[in-house]
């Protein structure tokens, strides 16, 4: 697949481990898509402050806002998982239940800090944005997780966690009475429940039972919706991209992501390699002559530039080896170079987007990233 083919998809989801530049890549993809005359939104998690300012989304959270940019119908938003969850509750609960749930301590804990909530809420927001039929292209930057797969598994985990039925079955009579009673616990019909009381204390069980009693009325709606979210992700309108930097951890993660996605029949579009030091490689004799030259000319005015170049040759070679070891070059959508600066404004994003054009065409083999630079510097 090429970048141009990728941009034909209605929804593009960027995954990858932390620190690989997912946010910049997502924003640059959105910028590229916006050049194709559709209305585009990029939903991002935690952009660098200067980048957020540049896109005009520093203050407003959780709703798309138009990026001030001539000639591009580009919108951006910052995801806020707590407000997304609250909105979801408000959509399905009756007003009284809603207030009860929102004030429940157990709910507050799961909605703000439970691992996985953020992932699921990113999907939920995606589903909501898609449902508006307002945007031609949606680019989603996923939350930083250690395992990109956490993102994919989040609907199932969320459903599992909020499924009150097991609990309900277990403590049914007490649910109906509204509260877990001490009598029930003392009777010790179930070792686990009495154990939980012992370990967690009654208050926790009360919060929990209050939450599930209230949530129960909306569980079916919630489950139905999360089923639809999963369905959306299985559809071929959605393209998944694994963003990776040329480090072992990041590449290993990206490779694992590809095999899981394909195993699940999801639409894996390919890899975007970011921050790659691409150089035209020396031949071995050239490299030997370079090292000899450096030894014999320690004080030559060019010595600094040459030893620096030797270091970057080493780096590029090591990166190339890692890339070849972990991923299939044929599935690389584009190789993005290290720019000389952090990306913190529209200019930087534009440059990154231009690099995508220059370097797209995943079928090309061998180290890439050098040619597009030449263009800028010669």
Site residues for another protein, 172-231, by CB under 8 A, read 191-192, 195-196, 198-201, 203-204, 207-208
CA dist 44 and 238 (Å) reads: 17
Per-residue burial over 101-136, b if 16 or more Cβ lie within 10 Å, else e, is bbebebbeebbeeeebbbbbbbbbbbbebbeeeebe
State which residue, 115 or 177, has the beta carbon closest to another protein: 115
Which residues ranging from 33 to 52 are in contact with another protein (CB under 8 A)? 48-50
What is the end-to-end Cα distance of the chain in Å, rounded?
30
Residue from 7, 233, 239, 245 touching another protein (CB under 8 A): that is 245
Residue from 91, 132, 187, 297 touching another protein (CB under 8 A): that is 297
- DSSP labels, 236-250: TTEEEEEEE-SSHHH
Nearest Cα to Cα of residue 120 among 149, 91, 158, 93 = 158
Strands laid side by side in the 40-44 sheet? 65-66, 74-78, 40-44, 137-141, 11-15, 238-244, 268-276, 332-337
- DSSP labels, 52-67: HHHHT-SS--SS-EE-
Instruction: List phi, psi (to 5°) of 138.
Output: -120, 125
Which residues ranging from 61 to 100 are in contact with another protein (CB under 8 A)? none
Q: Is the four-CA dihedral 9, 121, 52, 58 of positive or negative sign?
A: positive
102 touches another protein by CB under 8 A: no
CB of 105 to another protein, least distance (A): 7
Span near another protein by CB under 8 A; candidates 5-13, 36-44, 121-129, 281-289: 281-289
* Angle, CA 242 vertex, CA 238 and CA 248 arms, to 5°: 165
Chain mean position to CA 177: 43
170 touches another protein by CB under 8 A: yes
- Residue 188 to residues 164, 169, 171, 183: CA-CA distances in angstroms? 21, 16, 12, 9
CB of 63 to another protein, least distance (A): 23
CB of 154 to another protein, least distance (A): 12
155 touches another protein by CB under 8 A: no
CB of 315 to another protein, least distance (A): 5
State which residue, 259 or 308, has the beta carbon closest to another protein: 308
Which residues ranging from 113 to 152 are in contact with another protein (CB under 8 A)? 113-115, 144, 146-147
CB of 248 to another protein, least distance (A): 6
CB of 288 to another protein, least distance (A): 9
State which residue, 59 or 378, has the beta carbon closest to another protein: 378
CB of 45 to another protein, least distance (A): 10
373 touches another protein by CB under 8 A: yes
Which residues ranging from 298 to 357 are in contact with another protein (CB under 8 A)? 300-302, 304-306, 308-309, 311-312, 314-315, 318, 322, 338, 340-342, 344
Spell out the alpha helix ranges (H) of 93-201: 95-103, 105-113, 117-131, 149-162, 165-170, 172-177, 182-187, 191-200
Span near another protein by CB under 8 A; candidates 79-87, 128-136, 288-296, 354-362: 288-296
């Amino acid at each position: 697949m090429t970048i141009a083919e990728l941009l034909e998809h209605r929804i593009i989801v960027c995954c990858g481990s932390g620190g690989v530049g997912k946010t910049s890549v997502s924003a640059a993809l959105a910028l590229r898509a916006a050049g194709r005359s559709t209305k585009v939104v990029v939903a991002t998690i935690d952009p660098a402050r200067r980048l957020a300012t540049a896109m005009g989304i520093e203050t407003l959270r959780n709703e798309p806002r138009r990026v001030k940019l001539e000639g591009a119908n580009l919108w951006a938003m910052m995801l806020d998982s707590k407000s997304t969850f609250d909105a979801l509750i408000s959509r399905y609960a009756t007003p009284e239940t809603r207030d009860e749930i929102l004030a429940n301590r157990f709910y507050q804990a799961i909605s703000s800090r439970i691992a996985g909530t953020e992932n699921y809420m990113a999907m939920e927001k995606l589903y909501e944005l898609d449902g508006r039929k307002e945007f031609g292209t949606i680019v989603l930057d996923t939350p930083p997780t250690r395992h990109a797969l956490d993102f994919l598994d989040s609907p199932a985990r969320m459903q599992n966690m909020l499924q009150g039925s097991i609990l309900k079955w277990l403590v049914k009579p007490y649910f109906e009475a509204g509260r877990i009673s001490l009598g029930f616990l003392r009777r010790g019909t179930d070792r686990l429940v009495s154990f939980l009381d012992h370990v967690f204390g009654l208050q926790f069980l009360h919060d929990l039972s209050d939450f599930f009693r209230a949530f129960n009325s909306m569980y079916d709606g919630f489950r139905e919706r999360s089923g639809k979210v999963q369905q959306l992700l299985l559809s071929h309108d959605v393209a998944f991209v694994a963003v990776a930097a040329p480090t072992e951890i990041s590449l290993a993660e990206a490779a694992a992501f590809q095999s899981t996605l394909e195993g699940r029949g999801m639409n894996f579009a390919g890899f975007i390699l970011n921050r790659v030091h691409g150089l035209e490689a020396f031949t071995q004799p050239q490299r030997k002559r370079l090292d000899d030259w450096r030894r014999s000319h320690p004080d030559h005015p060019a010595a600094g530039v040459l030893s620096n170049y030797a270091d970057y040759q080493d780096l590029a070679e090591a990166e190339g080896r890692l890339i070849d070891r972990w991923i299939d070059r044929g599935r690389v959508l584009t190789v993005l170079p290290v720019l000389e600066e952090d990306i913190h404004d529209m200019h930087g994003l534009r440059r990154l987007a231009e690099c995508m054009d220059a370097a797209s065409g995943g079928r090309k083999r061998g180290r890439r990233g050098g040619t597009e630079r030449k263009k800028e510097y010669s």
